[in-house]
Structure 1
Amino acid sequence: MKTIYSPTHLRHAGHWEVAGGTLVPGFEKPIRAEYVRSRAEAVGLGPILPPSSFTLDAALRVHAADYVEFLGKAWDMWAATGRHTTALPMTWPVKGLRNDRRPESIDALLGFYSLDAGAGFQAGTWDAIRSSYETALTAATLVKGGERAAFALCRPPGHHAGSAFCGGYCYINNAAVAAQWFLDQGAGRVAVLDVDYHHGNGTQEIFYGRSDVLVVNIHGDPATEYPFFLGYADETGAGAGEGFNLNLPLPWGTDWTDWGAALEAGCRRVADYAPDVVVVSLGVDTFERDPISHFRLTTADYPKIGARIEKLGLPTLFVMEGGYAVEEIGVNAVGVLEGFEGR
């Protein structure tokens, strides 16, 4: 399986986030992607290729133009105020406040275009966002060109980014971009299967009113887990999208027995939908020792995930999302891909 990877992600580094009431170094750190790349090389997964260049046209198919413009300008606007720490929001337009007027101040814009304080900006953040986006599209072109599967080693991740907001370490929704790109290239239906511990709220929001993209999420119950305000089982789609969104929330402590059963249910739904291609939001923060998650999957479980997805018999694009137990992330993420290939 070919892997698309760009070292440009390293420019998004040294950022901070708010966690547990404290400002801490970001859990979404550069070494994550380096461990995955190294593991792919070590097991001989396949060629590791650089991304091609793309315009932002594909991003604008799923994201608002003003939001994408903001992503490209956020750091420069922040630095222009004389600050050179991580640009983080501190105020949000919650219920009772106005969100119909785009503000001018960078401090206000950070809150206007975000859902939390987990997607900060540094000097190289936009470069990394662009390279992650191009990584996903390059891998998608491989699948469109006839590859059975390809792996987009994206960093930063994307599935928490909605049509006009960032958050949860995510800025451009790479999986959603790829799904829309497949449709624009002639696919009739696309399924997004999100196996990250945290609900892919951004992907759900983008496609919630549509029937040409089925979105399936297996994740921690939002009653107790981030992103808290989306991901419940009764969210099944709206309007033309009714019945095309499936959430499978699970409680803290879930191990392979129940998680594997949820994967089976999700894969059956994908098979019934009969898409032309599957986009897998590949998060491995379901691991038993992940520092910010609470499932109990073991390293031996990850090849089983890939093997079950392979049984769908469909062209498949894997897009890297979360996973923060960095010493194990490479073995676990690549384990899914090895399982897909029957190794």
Structure 2
Amino acid sequence: MFRIRKIYDDTSVANRHAITQVQAIIQQQFPTARREDMEKLPLQLHDPVKYKYRSVLFVADDTAGNVKGFALMLHMADINVTYLELISAAPRKNGGGIGSLLYERIREESAKLKVNGLFFECSIDEDRVADPATLKNNQLRMKFYERYGVYPVCNNAYDTPVKPGDKDLYYLMYDALDTGAPLRLPLAQAVVRAILERKYHGIVPKEQVEEVVESFRDDPAILRAPRYKAKPAAVHKHEKTAIALVVNEGHAIHHVSDKGYLESPIRLPQILKEISRTGLFERVEPRKTPAALLRRIHDPEYLSFLHDVCKQLPVDKSIYPSVFPGRNRYRKSTDVEVQIGCFCTDTTTPLNRNAYLAASGAVDCAVTAAEMLLEDYDLSYALVRPPGHHAEWSKFGGFCYFNSTAAAAEYLSDYGRIAVLDIDFHHGNGTQDIFYERPDILTVSIHGDPSYAYPFFTGNAAETGKGEGKGFNMNLPLPEDCSVELYQKTLAKALKRIATFKPDYLVIALGLDTAKRDPTGSWNLVAKDFHRNGTLIGAMELPILIVQEGGYRTQTLGTNARCFFEGLHQARKKDAAS
């Protein structure tokens, strides 16, 4: 099994590991490739100005990060075309349709960019190739492209040697991306000039560039007639338009029936019932999260404590902290009900036998939903409880035990820069605490001012990060009587800050407790306002993961969630159509 994911830069460990493997594949599969071309791969991914094109690397890899194949696409925005520079399966990995899947993803990406065509080179398949084995491989490659209705551009000097005796000769191929659009002469000449001057800079002499460009004279260009009996490819759409939905089905085991405890199991069915009406979602089964990931966001001692205490509690008993040791946390008591104050921030979040299990299930769902952004989905939603954004590095509180939002962000941080936007009514103190010294994960929170709203002691605008993370935490506290207009103006400000950070993925901690009459909040957002919020967020041209946090007014909870996702999805459809 493998997935195909996009790599825009080499800033993360996983991306650098993938790029190193791609370079090894190039060295093995293209022995005549210049060393400098392999070495420039990481540079061209993050310096489009220098190379005069934006590079996007697609890798087919498994969950362990083993690369099975790759395709490198260049987007030349100034002439509005894409160019497939390289595509290859790893040695001994040329089965399983990897080449087809990679090429189809390149075509999809090109179509999404609304370019005037996809271009690439293909080795000549005529008797000028002396070696029979090479000729056969070239013919098979051409037959592959004919299956997609892609043919060489005829009547030009593109397939002539740069130097006398050169044996690596190529046709220029044109893929109209199923539009049937003819290749007009001005575009053909512009494309040829761009390829020769940018990709072959310093290799093809200026005089030869002009000669090859001028050899293109047909308007529109004439494409070679089919030569092979190639059955048309059954093209599949790989990027999903549905929203991946991962539901914590086992959440109901965590049911605290104590009077006044608002985080009840009914919350999830209410949301699920309403969003299911939209037809926007595709269910995905959760996968187990490695324990090592939890240890990256939570203190191992804290994890062990929660596991052991919850396991030993009776089924029908919940215990609440009542004593908080402060600086003397490490002077341990033998009384479990006293000990829990070492790891908690309030007196309203109990531990019981199933708290650990339910919270673990929520993390599994959130991380699985994050994985979906690497597996063809552009939007995903982890519908989970208990919530998680108040869970800090070594403390639980605010109905939260494990920080599912932070776990998902931490997982994605292996694949690029992450922005977390918390739109729960309450400050995401746990997420802030976990990432406060990190420059690779931007945390932004819109919430009730801590002068009146839980958790009271965090969430001020002056809290902007620490050390390397200075400037990468943004708090936007709002007044108790915040108007809808002020809220959405603040949301626009948050999204602007996120845009300047230029993340690869956006994680939304979705609180629906900003709703009118929510028992834990004081604001007055209604269904149309949640729709507008979804529209504003959906307009961000980023893969987006939504993790469910708070929201406790069950009468409107489902409707508000449905409206948010309808707005989110409509914004994406609008962007795709424009």
- Say whether the fold is shared (TM-score over 0.5): yes
Task: Answer yes or no: is 1:5 the counterpart of 2:243.
Answer: no
Confirm or deny: 8 A CA contact 1:282 1:333 kept in the other structure.
no
Task: Answer yes or no: is 1:88 the counterpart of 2:320.
Answer: yes
Q: CA offsets, 1:102-135, max 9 Å, x none?
A: 5443112211110012321233222211110100
Q: CA offsets, 1:119-155, max 9 Å, x none?
A: 2123322221111010001101101223111000011
Where in structure 2 are the equivalents of 1:9-158 lying within 5 Å? 9-16=251-258, 24-79=259-314, 84-94=316-326, 97-158=327-388
Task: Answer yes or no: is 1:164 the counterpart of 2:394.
Answer: yes
Distance 1:323 1:276 in 2: 28
Distance 1:69 1:40 in 2: 36
Kindly tell me: are residues 58 and 107 of structure 1, through their superposed partners in 2, closer, same or farther at Cα, counting changes over 3 Å? same
Kindly tell me: are residues 309 and 275 of structure 1, through their superposed partners in 2, closer, same or farther at Cα, counting changes over 3 Å? same
Distance 2:501 2:331 in 1: 39
CA-CA distance at 1:47 after TM superposition: 1.9
Residue 281 of structure 2 aligns to a residue whose secondary structure is: coil
TM-score of the superposition, structure 2-length normalised?
A: 0.55
Distance 1:60 1:232 in 2: 28
CA-CA distance at 1:15 after TM superposition: 4.1
CA-CA distance at 1:209 after TM superposition: 1.0
Kindly tell me: are residues 65 and 299 of structure 1, through their superposed partners in 2, closer, same or farther at Cα, counting changes over 3 Å? same
Higher relative contact order at CA 8 Å, sep ≥6: structure 1 or structure 2?
Answer: 1
* Runs of 5+ consecutive residues of structure 2 not aligned to the other structure: 1-242, 572-578
| Corresponding position of 1:326 | 554
CA-CA distance at 1:333 after TM superposition: 1.8
Residue 144 of structure 1 aligns to a residue whose secondary structure is: coil
Distance 2:566 2:367 in 1: 22
Q: Which one-letter code corresponds to 1:100 in the other structure?
A: Y
Confirm or deny: 8 A CA contact 1:77 1:106 kept in the other structure.
no
Confirm or deny: 8 A CA contact 1:15 1:122 kept in the other structure.
no
Larger radius of gyration: 2
Distance 2:531 2:333 in 1: 47
Q: CA offsets, 1:51-94, max 9 Å, x none?
A: 11223221111101111112222223343xxx943111111123
Q: Which one-letter code corresponds to 1:85 in the other structure?
A: K
Distance 1:280 1:50 in 2: 20
Q: How many residues align?
A: 329
Confirm or deny: 8 A CA contact 2:313 2:353 kept in the other structure.
no
Distance 2:507 2:332 in 1: 33
Moved over 6 A (4+): none
Kindly tell me: are residues 204 and 142 of structure 1, through their superposed partners in 2, closer, same or farther at Cα, counting changes over 3 Å? same
**Larger deviation, residues 230-239 vs 332-341:** 332-341
Residue 318 of structure 2 aligns to a residue whose secondary structure is: coil
Confirm or deny: 8 A CA contact 2:312 2:353 kept in the other structure.
no
TM-score of the superposition, structure 1-length normalised?
A: 0.92
CA-CA distance at 1:303 after TM superposition: 1.1
Residue 328 of structure 2 aligns to a residue whose secondary structure is: coil
Distance 1:54 1:201 in 2: 23
Q: Which one-letter code corresponds to 2:448 in the other structure?
A: G
Where in structure 2 are the equivalents of 1:278-317 lying within 5 Å? 278-317=506-545
Q: CA offsets, 1:272-328, max 9 Å, x none?
A: 000010000000100011011111111110011111111110010000000000121
CA-CA distance at 1:38 after TM superposition: 1.1
Report percent identity of matched pairs: 35
Q: Which one-letter code corresponds to 2:325 in the other structure?
A: P
Confirm or deny: 8 A CA contact 1:3 1:153 kept in the other structure.
yes
Q: Which one-letter code corresponds to 2:244 in the other structure?
A: K
Q: Which one-letter code corresponds to 1:135 in the other structure?
A: C
CA-CA distance at 1:183 after TM superposition: 1.3
Residue 138 of structure 1 aligns to a residue whose secondary structure is: helix
Distance 2:473 2:349 in 1: 26
Distance 1:206 1:112 in 2: 18
Distance 1:130 1:101 in 2: 28
| Corresponding position of 2:142 | none
Residue 262 of structure 2 aligns to a residue whose secondary structure is: coil
